[in-house]
């Protein structure tokens, strides 16, 4: 499982011109499941999202998590996070899980992050979405449960 985590001042996702998820201060997370992913991959990403220390403390050091600052998470399923662009100009999406496999894994990820006590809003799985955000920093972190980077 992979995720792109962005620290944001606020973010929202719309589907067919309807807002389906919106947060203030927190994290915008684009997540994608791979065909080989299992519950351990979900648990790894959920733990990282909830506990990444990417918010400043009183001295301006990145020592606080989304939990520490009382922030929220907007989690958006985005299969292209699994894209491999190392060869050619068209990214390969071969490692992305099918929707049938990915949807329950993404749902488990949402539940796992909520299990840490974080408010989580979501996009809509497999829908065409528009995401708006104001990145804070900017702080953008890449996560991979296979620890490939």
Candidates 111, 143, 122, 132; CA nearest to 33 is: 143
Predicted local distance difference test score (pLDDT) of residue 149 = 80
Please say whether the beta carbons of 77 and 123 come within 8 A. Answer: yes
How far apart CA 136 and CA 33 sit, in angstroms, is 26
Q: How many CA atoms lie within 13 A of 111 on its CB side?
A: 8
Please say whether the beta carbons of 122 and 21 come within 8 A. Answer: yes
Instruction: Return the CATH number of 2-144, one of 3.90.1300.10, 1.10.760.10, 3.50.80.10, 3.40.50.2300.
Output: 3.50.80.10
How far apart CA 30 and CA 75 sit, in angstroms, is 6
Predicted local distance difference test score (pLDDT) of residue 148 = 85
Please say whether the beta carbons of 123 and 13 come within 8 A. Answer: yes
In the chain, domain spans: 2-144
Please say whether the beta carbons of 29 and 5 come within 8 A. Answer: yes
Token pair 């519950």: residue: 39
Strand partners, 143: 3
Threshold 0.95, pTM exceeds: yes
Residues with pLDDT less than 70, the chain? none
Predicted local distance difference test score (pLDDT) of residue 53 = 98
Tokens of 76: 């958006």
How far apart CA 43 and CA 49 sit, in angstroms, is 10
Rounded to whole angstroms, what are the CA distances from 84 to 62, 89, 147?
30, 10, 15
């Amino acid at each position: 499982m992979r995720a792109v985590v962005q620290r944001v001042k606020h973010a929202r996702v719309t589907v067919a011109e309807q807002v389906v998820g919106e947060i203030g201060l927190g994290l915008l997370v684009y997540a994608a499941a791979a065909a080989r992913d299992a519950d351990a991959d979900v648990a790894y990403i959920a733990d990282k999202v909830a506990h990444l220390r990417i918010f400043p403390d009183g001295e301006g050091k990145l020592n606080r998590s989304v939990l520490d600052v009382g922030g929220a998470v907007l989690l958006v399923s985005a299969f292209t996070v699994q894209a491999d662009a190392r060869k050619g100009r068209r990214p390969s999406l071969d490692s992305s899980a099918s929707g049938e496999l990915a949807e329950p894994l993404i749902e488990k990820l949402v539940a796992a992050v909520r299990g840490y006590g974080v408010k989580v809003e979501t996009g809509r799985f497999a829908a065409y979405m528009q995401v708006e955000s104001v990145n804070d920093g900017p702080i953008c972190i890449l996560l991979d449960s296979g620890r490939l980077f």
